[in-house]
Structure 1
Amino acid sequence: MKACGLIVEYNPFHNGHLYHLQASRQQTNSDVTVVVMSGSFLQRGEPAIIDKFKRTKAALTHGVDVVLELPFVYAVQYADLFAKGAISVLDALKVDYVCFGSEAGQITPFINGYMHFKENQSEFQTLLQNYLQQGLSFPKASTYAYEQIGLRTGEIDLGQPNNILGFSYVKAIHELNSQIQPETIQRSKSGYHDQSIETHIASATSIRKEILEQKQLTELANYALPKETVKQLKNYQSESGLWHEWEHYFPFLQLLVQTQSVDQLRRIHGMIEGLEYRLKQTVNQCRSFKDWMEQLKTKRYTWTRLQRMFVHLLTNTTKEEIDQYRSITTQPYIRLLGMSQTGRQFIQQRKKDLDVPLISNYQQLKHPMLQIEERATDAYYSVIAADKRSQLRKQEIIGPVMM
């Protein structure tokens, strides 16, 4: 069975994701779609609006065959490390293709761009470090460095968010010596960061904004969501009492900064360049998470960078823990979140040829990465009432969602 891999967050699964899923299957002529999906916390440093199990159900109902979990140590990271983690999971399951959405819409510019990057990598790294020393944020410094080596004009513009992620996927495939073949489709309609819903294919950002600001599933949000996603959003709110957003976690973060020493804070991944002192200086001056972010944000400390740091603070994820997984080329396990009947056939077919364990819950394997994953789960559910939290957490040991 020929398998196409997708790298997703589904926060939540919307009409654009459905288009991407269907177009990817068609373009690669695949029998099976395998997604690797972020779990409790997401790449831009946000808690998922509903948990990974409800998002898995929505994905399977709309045609995904296999859902794998992207390990937490890669999920809340800059593009290259995020991509490396995701591609290595798909590579471990030996999928044939990975298909991503992009502004470019053609794969050749990404392949040519990577070859050009390799030829100019030394110059790129020098430029990147120079821009960082000038006080620019990492995304801005990277964009300027790409521009200087000719990767913002012509075939590919590495100033566009989906192009950047796609380029990181192609880089990861080459650097991991993977046999996965990359493909891309033109990103349809809305942009990655769009804040408003204007068509039935809207960005996840605009959909979450509508839901969380209105505190309900509005007609506008329903317009941009498939029926099963609406159902799972309602089910999760009924079971947990909320949809997740940063404001729920504000008191926990405040307490952590108040009670930990500067030295303890300094150990947290993402705590760089004296940020621990800024946290201490501002912790008692803010009245909400948004207020705190606005006090902390600078040219160097971008909103996304700060949110990622707060995720790692909340989960007590240290620099040492992340550093040991930067250089690995093979995943220690594959975590299965859910599968369809077609997905079950594919897993049975591939299982005998896997080089690493295939697991579906925390009890099946003892590994430090799973211990970090468990902390992330506990942090994510911490804002829910104890009785409801206990029921939701049981999902981690029940096994995969089946469709």
Structure 2
Amino acid sequence: MRAAGIIVEYNPFHNGHLYHLQQTKKQTQADIVIAVMSGDFLQRGEPALLSKWTRTALALKAGVDLVVELPYAYATQKAEVFAWGAVCILADLGVTDIVFGSEAGDIEPFHRTVRAMESRKAAFDRAVKAHTALGVSYPKAASFAFRDLGLSGEEYIDLSQPNNILGYHYVDAVRRLGRPIRTATVKRLKADYHDNDIRDDRIASATAIRQALFAGSARREELRRLVPPYTADALFAAQDNGTLRSWEDYFPFLKYRLLTARHQELSAIYEAEEGLENRLKAFALRAANFKEWMELIKTKRYTWTRLQRLATHVLTGATKEEMAGAGRFQKPPYIRLLGMNGKGQKYLNRIKKDLKVPIITKIASSRSPVAALDERAALCYRLIKPSDDRDDFDRSPVRYDEASGRTL
């Protein structure tokens, strides 16, 4: 049986995501598609617009058969750890293929770059360290290091592009696992990952869609062309009932944490390095909102994403010690099921006896430190605008009936 795996956030699910899903099915001819999806907080260090349960329902309506959660300890990490956690989960679920979106659209340069790096890792690390010492951010330093090693040109991947970076780490994670998983990539259509503007009437980046969404209801007709109807309905319903989330909603809680925490507490937070936590605290009183605070703390050395991830860890209280449980090359200790259709349920029943890690449906059923972080993240996510979803801890997976088009 051929099972294709995809790694997603769906913040929100848009036409570009639908194209990726359709191309995954076309390229692999898979019998089933499994999505591992970030939960309440995302890789760029921000809360999801919609709850993971709503996003799961949208994924199932789009044609995904099985949705599982990427735990907080992996979902809010740099690309290497994010990719490792997601690929491990898909491998444990028995996927035969992993298909990802990229700016490149050709899988061979990814394989060539990964093979070339096998013998140059030490030199790469030294080059990254040299560039970061000059005050540039890690992503730029990594891009410069690849160039220094001669890994540039058409035969290699352009690692200045965000989806190419993730794709590189997906392919590398498959290599390190040593599993017989095929990798393939789908070229992103029209919109770049960081595009802030809507330049096409059908395709736009998730960033541009989020910005337009928060611009107000005047742009709803424009947005309806950029997302499937079920996504538009979910977004506008959340906007109308006050359950659409952004960092601005959480800023008062973040501010409270920063102003009341002792120095030892803040310095123990994951990614609080080089006294960065002091900078966050120093500007907390001066900022009226999250965007203003971010602009005050931003430096050339630290990217917006890096600072947002640190802010997320401050909000959730995620410490260096706790996050070490999901450190480099450590595998997720469980797989949490978020939703499935009939086909997905049959697949799970078929592979259950061969699984090496437990499948859980409720977070309380695991005593893992990784699960404790998931539980705390869920509580923080529900601090504002109580969700239309039931409590995260006793919530059963979403079930989608394809015949009726209803979620149960």
- TM class by shorter chain equals over 0.9
Distance across 2 between alignment mates of 1:238 and 1:213? 14
Residue 113 of structure 1 deviates from its aligned partner by 0.9
Match for residue 204 of structure 2?
A: 202
Residue 64 of structure 1 deviates from its aligned partner by 0.6
Deviations along 1:131-188, one digit per CA (max 9) or x if unpaired, are 1122211111111111111233222211111111100101111122233221111111
Match for residue 229 of structure 1?
A: 231
Residue 122 of structure 1 deviates from its aligned partner by 1.6
Tell which deviates more after alignment, 357-366 or 203-212.
357-366
**Partner letter of residue 184 of structure 1?**
T
Tell me the secondary structure at the aligned position of residue 150 of structure 2: coil
Tell me the secondary structure at the aligned position of residue 392 of structure 1: coil
Tell me the secondary structure at the aligned position of residue 69 of structure 1: strand
Q: Judging changes above 3 Å, is the alpha-carbon distance between structure 1 residues 377 and 119 closer, same or farther for their aligned structure 2 residues?
A: same
Match for residue 405 of structure 2?
A: none
Match for residue 392 of structure 1?
A: 389
Match for residue 17 of structure 1?
A: 17
Q: Runs of at least 4 residues of structure 1 off by over 3 A?
A: 234-239, 327-330
Residue 92 of structure 1 contacts residue 331 of structure 1 at CA under 8 Å; is this kept in 2? no
Deviations along 1:96-149, one digit per CA (max 9) or x if unpaired, are 110001122111111111111112212111101111122211111111111111
Match for residue 287 of structure 1?
A: 288
Tell me the secondary structure at the aligned position of residue 314 of structure 2: helix
Query: Are 2:304 and 1:303 equivalent residues in the alignment?
Result: yes
Residue 381 of structure 1 contacts residue 393 of structure 1 at CA under 8 Å; is this kept in 2? no
Query: Are 2:403 and 1:402 equivalent residues in the alignment?
Result: no
Q: How many equivalent pairs are there? A: 398
Match for residue 403 of structure 2?
A: none
Distance across 2 between alignment mates of 1:330 and 1:293? 32
Residue 378 of structure 2 contacts residue 392 of structure 2 at CA under 8 Å; is this kept in 1? no
Tell me the secondary structure at the aligned position of residue 314 of structure 1: helix
Distance across 1 between alignment mates of 2:45 and 2:281? 20
Residue 358 of structure 1 deviates from its aligned partner by 0.7
Tell which deviates more after alignment, 211-220 or 43-52.
211-220
Residue 377 of structure 1 contacts residue 393 of structure 1 at CA under 8 Å; is this kept in 2? no
* TM-score, normalised with respect to structure 2: 0.94
Q: Identity over the aligned pairs, expressed in percent?
A: 44
Match for residue 102 of structure 1?
A: 102
Residue 147 of structure 1 contacts residue 153 of structure 1 at CA under 8 Å; is this kept in 2? no
Tell which deviates more after alignment, 375-384 or 207-216.
207-216
Q: Residues 110-125 of structure 1 correspond to what in structure 2 (within 5 A)?
A: 110-125=110-125
Residue 54 of structure 1 contacts residue 236 of structure 1 at CA under 8 Å; is this kept in 2? no
Residue 151 of structure 1 contacts residue 158 of structure 1 at CA under 8 Å; is this kept in 2? no
Residue 329 of structure 1 deviates from its aligned partner by 4.1
Match for residue 64 of structure 1?
A: 64
Tell which deviates more after alignment, 372-381 or 132-141.
132-141
Tell me the secondary structure at the aligned position of residue 283 of structure 1: coil
Query: Are 2:150 and 1:153 equivalent residues in the alignment?
Result: no
**Partner letter of residue 218 of structure 1?**
R
Residue 284 of structure 1 deviates from its aligned partner by 1.3
Tell me the secondary structure at the aligned position of residue 219 of structure 1: helix
In the alignment, structure 1 segments of 5+ residues that lack a partner are: none
Distance across 2 between alignment mates of 1:287 and 1:22? 43
Residue 269 of structure 1 contacts residue 322 of structure 1 at CA under 8 Å; is this kept in 2? yes
Tell me the secondary structure at the aligned position of residue 324 of structure 1: helix
Distance across 1 between alignment mates of 2:364 and 2:270? 27
Distance across 2 between alignment mates of 1:167 and 1:80? 9
* TM-score, normalised with respect to structure 1: 0.95
Match for residue 140 of structure 1?
A: 140
Deviations along 1:285-336, one digit per CA (max 9) or x if unpaired, are 1111111111100011221111000100010000111123214443311111
**Partner letter of residue 114 of structure 2?**
Y
Residue 262 of structure 1 deviates from its aligned partner by 1.5
Tell which deviates more after alignment, 207-216 or 100-109.
207-216
Q: Judging changes above 3 Å, is the alpha-carbon distance between structure 1 residues 261 and 329 closer, same or farther for their aligned structure 2 residues?
A: closer
Residue 58 of structure 1 contacts residue 229 of structure 1 at CA under 8 Å; is this kept in 2? yes
Tell me the secondary structure at the aligned position of residue 45 of structure 2: coil
In the alignment, structure 2 segments of 5+ residues that lack a partner are: 401-408
Deviations along 1:223-276, one digit per CA (max 9) or x if unpaired, are 10101111222343455x231111111111111111011121101111111112
Match for residue 83 of structure 1?
A: 83
Residue 85 of structure 2 contacts residue 331 of structure 2 at CA under 8 Å; is this kept in 1? no
Residue 197 of structure 1 contacts residue 220 of structure 1 at CA under 8 Å; is this kept in 2? no
Residue 364 of structure 1 deviates from its aligned partner by 2.6
Q: Judging changes above 3 Å, is the alpha-carbon distance between structure 1 residues 328 and 105 closer, same or farther for their aligned structure 2 residues?
A: closer
Distance across 2 between alignment mates of 1:61 and 1:216? 27
Q: Residues 4-403 of structure 1 correspond to what in structure 2 (within 5 A)?
A: 4-155=4-155, 156-199=157-200, 200-214=202-216, 218-237=220-239, 241-384=242-385, 388-389=386-387, 392-403=389-400
Distance across 2 between alignment mates of 1:357 and 1:20? 29
Distance across 2 between alignment mates of 1:95 and 1:213? 40
**Partner letter of residue 395 of structure 2?**
I
Residue 216 of structure 1 deviates from its aligned partner by 6.7
Residue 84 of structure 2 contacts residue 329 of structure 2 at CA under 8 Å; is this kept in 1? no
Residue 325 of structure 2 contacts residue 369 of structure 2 at CA under 8 Å; is this kept in 1? no
Distance across 2 between alignment mates of 1:23 and 1:382? 38
Residue 190 of structure 1 deviates from its aligned partner by 0.7
Q: Judging changes above 3 Å, is the alpha-carbon distance between structure 1 residues 217 and 352 closer, same or farther for their aligned structure 2 residues?
A: farther
Tell which deviates more after alignment, 329-338 or 12-21.
329-338
Tell which deviates more after alignment, 158-167 or 13-22.
158-167
Distance across 1 between alignment mates of 2:218 and 2:89? 35
